[in-house]
Amino acid sequence: MKWIASFPGNVAAGLERASASITLNSPVTGQPSAFIEGSVISAKRTAASAALAARVHTEQDPPAGVVLIGCGVINLEILRFLAAALPGLREAVLYDTDPARAEAFARTCAPHVVRGSTWCTPRSVSACSTSRSPSS
């Protein structure tokens, strides 16, 4: 069983937004046999599925760039997996509600793409957000 707790206010305190745990149960008895931290596994699984989908859906015309909305752990993993799945990837255009977080993410992107850039226009992004309050 995977359990994820999301606390958006953690980001302002310098903590990760989400934490996760995974409980493994015995296939014979159903009893819990392991309890492990799950945020890394969850981020990598999410990233792997996103990168695989991007590769499959762009085989005929692989992209040179990608837009990532939100500059957290999952999108960093997605970028790492995309760089492996799409070897021609050269640019990451980024958006985060916190421009400093987007800038820091861009610096972190450097090993994964040739150039990381930032894009901080909230009006452009809120048009495609599922959030009821895109500025938060």
Q: Does residue 117 or residue 19 have the better pLDDT? A: 19
User: Which pLDDT band holds residue 113 (cuts at 50, 70, 90)?
Assistant: low
Which domains are present in the chain?
A: 2-126 (3.40.50)
Q: What does each C-alpha distance from 56 to 24, 52, 53, 65 come to in angstroms? A: 31, 6, 5, 16
Q: Residue 116 pLDDT more than 90?
A: no
| DSSP string of 38-49, one letter each residue | -HHHHHHHHHHH
Share of the chain above pLDDT 90, in %: 44
Question: Average pLDDT in the 73-80 region?
Answer: 92
Instruction: Answer whether residue 126 shows pLDDT above 80.
Output: no
Res 7: pLDDT: 92
pTM value is 0.75
The answer to whether the beta carbons of residues 106 and 120 sit under 8 Å apart is no
Question: What was the pLDDT predicted at 96?
Answer: 86
Are 104 and 91 within 8 A, CB to CB?
no
